[in-house]
């Protein structure tokens, strides 16, 4: 029996190696079942004892080929790799390569084939690589008719992951800016902003919330008036992440007070470095200052920086918010500096140390579910039957939310637009964060509030407790998410507000506004 299993495993490995070699030389077309059966002497029945379908064979073969290329790269680490990350990106972004894609890199066999492959084949590439593919492909505009990244973008991202290259800039509001401009921007706006978003040259912020309208974004009272040949903006925004470093801002402003609440809004790209923009940081109770208040005094916006049409600002804003809520679904990864030598890695480490410093608390506001089991074992409470039940609840909720979020991302990969599922993920992440904070408190008791260096985890647990409330507020409160879910998912009647059926100038407003 043991000999039979060993022989089967050996035959299985031989088939995969042969298919991997053919794939590296000829692409997917080289993985032919008939040819492989002939080389291995297997019958049709024998072949399908090893693989349920050709898709399973292809997935294993691609995985084997990726491993082969990685070993090649590792072996060349002491010298110059055959193709550098920089040359691949330079070649990819060049117009010549766009029109005449080459195959001069180890992943050349992927070109022209992965875009036509199925789910099992794409599963051979890690989920994180697929997330990067989605981002890069959409920002460069290299997508097919269903919105999926085409073969060249997938091939390059695969290679970048294999060699441990620094990826595209995808932290912060810049990803929301890219998605919004792609959906609603003009050709001029796409040409001006998208590549610089990809390279990380520009930092962005989101100018939505105001002192008198937080989650009720459509109640914005910041004014944009067209004077002469440009827009002039006056007002105040608050809770604006990264405004102190931003080059550009996504601005929602009211352009027509005679229209109804949602119809008198317009959406702009605002130059944050001009004299009419004043930024003041806001210190949080966890000690960080990643948010700001922004004062706009006769700030100027050129006509070509109006996104979509005058009065269509709410539709554009909805796109931004849907992408933002999907970003709060718990699948986000955090910047970890590499220990590799080289200028690019040095710059990355410096950026994480300085630019990313105000955002070090972001993982803590998610509740740090990943620390719960470790803390339970360390404190000896892992065998407490009551606490075990609470731990189980959090872990179950966390895994269920992750699967829901992955379904939403898969739907987007298939070309379907963003929908209200982002609100489901955001609301779930809020519940999980609070439940995790309660478990952390149960494990440590009053010591969870201590912040000195000689406390458990050097005060990190206290930082979790004071950071978690932000999850229920940022990007739209839990109450807003429940409204969206009830109206757009459950199809319940809209909540009556009394401020949407009259000109906005006649709507009673907060005295601050």
pLDDT tens-digit series, residues 455-509 = 878 888 999 999 999 888 887 888 988 998 898 888 899 877 777 778 988 888 7
Nearest C-alpha neighbor of 208 from the set 194, 218, 200: 218
Same domain, 30 and 159: yes
Q: Among all chains, which residue has been given the structure tokens 């005295």?
A: 511
Lowest-pLDDT range, 54-58, 158-162, 339-343?
158-162
Residues 7 and 66 in one domain: yes
Asked if residue 153 and residue 10 are part of one domain, the reply reads yes
Q: Label the pairing between strands 204-207 and 248-254.
A: parallel
Query: Which residue reads 């291995």 in tokens?
Result: 40
The CATH number of whichever domain residue 420 belongs to comes to: 1.20.140
Dihedral sign of CA atoms 168, 172, 176, 178 in order: negative
Give the CATH number, domain containing residue 286. 2.40.110.10
| Containing structural domain, residue 359 | 343-473
Q: Please state the separation of Cα 151 from the chain's center in Å.
A: 21
User: How many percent of the chain have pLDDT more than 70?
Assistant: 70
* Predicted local distance difference test score (pLDDT) of residue 335: 65
Could you tell me whether strands 230-238 and 248-254 are parallel, antiparallel, or unpaired per DSSP bridges? Answer: unpaired
Torsion of CA 163, 169, 175, 178, to 10 degrees: -100
**Tens digits of per-residue pLDDT, 15-28?**
888 887 876 666 66
Q: Indicate the residue among 293, 326, 359 that finishes a domain.
A: 326
- The mean per-residue pLDDT over the stretch 193-213 comes to 86
- Confidence band for 434, pLDDT divided at 50, 70 and 90: very high
- The lowest-confidence range among 76-90, 294-308, 439-453 is 76-90
* Alpha carbons 357 and 491: distance in angstroms, whole number: 42
Which position has the higher pLDDT, 355 or 373? 373
**CA atoms of 107 and 152, how far apart (whole Å):** 9
Q: Check: CB of residue 167 under 8 Å from CB of residue 160.
A: yes
Query: Is pLDDT larger for residue 59 or for residue 440?
Result: 440
Task: Supply the DSSP symbol for 501.
Answer: S
Q: What is the CATH number of the domain that holds 39?
A: 1.10.357
Same domain, yes or no: 161 and 231: no
**Is residue 153 over pLDDT 60?**
no
What is the model's pLDDT at position 44? 80
> Which pair of structure tokens corresponds to residue 434?
């609070």
Angle between helices 187-199 and 127-140 (to 10 degrees): 140
Binning pLDDT at 50, 70 and 90, where does residue 204 land?
very high
- Residue 436's pLDDT is 95
93 and 111 share one domain: yes
Instruction: Check whether residue 24 and residue 161 sit in a common domain.
Output: yes
In the predicted model, is pLDDT for residue 119 greater than 60? no
Quickly count: other Cβ atoms within 10 Å of residue 494's Cβ: 10
- If you average pLDDT over every residue of the chain, what do you get? 77
**Distance separating alpha carbons of residues 14 and 22, to the nearest angstrom:** 12
Are 39 and 146 within one domain? yes
181, 161: one domain: no
Bridge partners of 254, per DSSP, are 223, 265
Rounded distance between C-alpha atoms, residue 97 and residue 99, angstroms: 5
Q: How far is CA 513 from CA 181, 433, 507, in A?
A: 29, 32, 12
Position 151 in a domain = yes
Measured distance CA(325)–CA(330) in Å, rounded: 10
pLDDT band at 266 (very low <50, low <70, confident <90, very high): very high
Give me the long-range contacts of 148-154 (CB less than 8 A, separation at least 24). Answer: 148/115, 148/413, 148/414, 148/415, 149/115, 150/115, 151/110, 151/111, 151/112, 151/113, 151/114, 151/115, 152/92, 152/97, 152/101, 152/111, 153/92, 154/110, 154/114, 154/115, 154/125
Going by the DSSP 8-state scheme, the letter that residue 369 receives in this structure is G
pLDDT at 139: 43
Q: Is a pLDDT exceeding 80 seen at residue 185?
A: yes
Instruction: Spell out the alpha helix ranges (H) of 94-228.
Output: 95-99, 119-122, 127-140, 151-162, 174-184, 187-199
Instruction: Give the residue-averaged pLDDT of 425-431.
Output: 89
Domain boundary among 118, 145, 168: 168
**Letter string b/e over residues 464-491, b meaning 16 or more CB atoms within 10 A of that residue's CB:** bbbbbbbbbbbbbbbebbebbbbeeeee
Q: Which of 367, 209, 233 has its CA nearest to residue 291?
A: 209
Q: Who has greater pLDDT, 174 or 149?
A: 174
- C-alpha dihedral sign at 177, 428, 400, 468: positive
Residues 6+ away with beta carbon under 8 Å from 292 = 205, 238, 239, 240, 241, 242, 243, 244, 279, 280, 281, 282
* pLDDT category of residue 440 using cuts at 50, 70 and 90: very high
The number of folded domains in the chain is: 3
Whether 155 and 187 map to the same domain: the answer is no
Mean pLDDT for the stretch of residues 300-310: 96
Lowest mean pLDDT among 35-44, 84-93, 303-312: 84-93
pTM exceeding 0.75: no
């Amino acid at each position: 029996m043991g000999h039979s299993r060993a022989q089967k495993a050996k035959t299985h490995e031989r088939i995969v190696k042969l298919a991997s070699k053919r794939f590296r030389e000829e692409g997917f077309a080289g993985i032919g079942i008939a040819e492989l059966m002939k080389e291995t002497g297997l019958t049709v029945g024998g072949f399908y004892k090893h693989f349920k379908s050709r898709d399973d064979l292809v997935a294993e073969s691609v995985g084997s080929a990726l491993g082969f290329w990685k070993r090649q790269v590792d072996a060349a680490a002491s010298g110059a790799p055959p193709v550098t990350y920089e040359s691949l990106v330079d070649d990819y972004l060049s117009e010549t390569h766009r029109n005449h894609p080459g195959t001069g890199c180890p992943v050349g066999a992927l070109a022209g084939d992965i875009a036509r492959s199925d789910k099992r084949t794409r599963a051979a590439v890690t989920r994180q690589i697929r997330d990067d593919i989605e981002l890069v492909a959409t920002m460069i505009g290299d997508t097919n008719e269903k919105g999926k990244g085409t073969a060249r973008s997938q091939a390059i991202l695969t290679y970048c992951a294999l060699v441990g290259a620094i990826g595209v800039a995808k932290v912060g509001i810049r990803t929301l800016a890219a998605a919004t401009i792609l959906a609603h921007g003009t050709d001029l706006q796409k040409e001006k902003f998208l590549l610089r978003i990809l390279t990380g040259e520009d930092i962005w912020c989101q100018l939505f919330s105001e002192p008198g309208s937080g989650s009720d974004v459509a109640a914005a009272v910041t004014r944009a008036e067209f004077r002469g040949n440009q827009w002039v903006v006056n007002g105040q925004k608050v809770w604006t992440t990264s405004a102190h470093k931003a080059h550009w801002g996504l601005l929602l402003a009211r352009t027509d007070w005679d229209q109804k609440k949602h119809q008198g809004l317009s959406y702009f790209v605002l130059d944050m470095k001009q004299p009419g923009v004043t930024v003041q940081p806001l210190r949080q109770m966890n000690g960080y200052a990643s948010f700001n208040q922004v004062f706009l005094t006769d700030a100027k916006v050129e006509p070509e920086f109006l996104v979509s049409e005058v009065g269509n600002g709410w539709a554009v804003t909805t796109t931004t918010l849907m992408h933002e809520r999907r970003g709060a679904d718990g699948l986000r990864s955090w910047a970890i500096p590499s220990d590799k030598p080289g200028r690019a890695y040095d710059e990355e480490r410096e950026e994480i140390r300085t630019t990313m410093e105000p955002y070090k608390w972001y993982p803590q506001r998610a509740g740090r579910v990943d620390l719960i089991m470790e803390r339970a074992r360390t404190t000896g409470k892992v065998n407490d039957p009551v606490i075990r039940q609470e731990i189980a609840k959090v872990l179950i909720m966390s895994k269920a939310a992750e699967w829901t979020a992955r379904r939403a991302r898969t739907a987007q990969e298939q070309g379907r637009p963003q929908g209200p599922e982002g609100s489901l993920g955001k609301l779930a992440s809020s519940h999980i964060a609070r439940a995790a904070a309660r478990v952390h408190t149960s494990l440590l008791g009053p010591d969870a509030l201590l912040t000195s260096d000689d406390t458990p985890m050097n005060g990190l647990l206290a930082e979790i407790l004071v950071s978690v409330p932000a999850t229920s507020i940022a990007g739209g409160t839990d109450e807003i998410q429940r409204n969206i879910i009830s109206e757009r998912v459950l199809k319940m009647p809209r909540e009556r507000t009394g401020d949407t059926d009259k000109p906005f100038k006649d709507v009673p407003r907060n005295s601050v506004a």
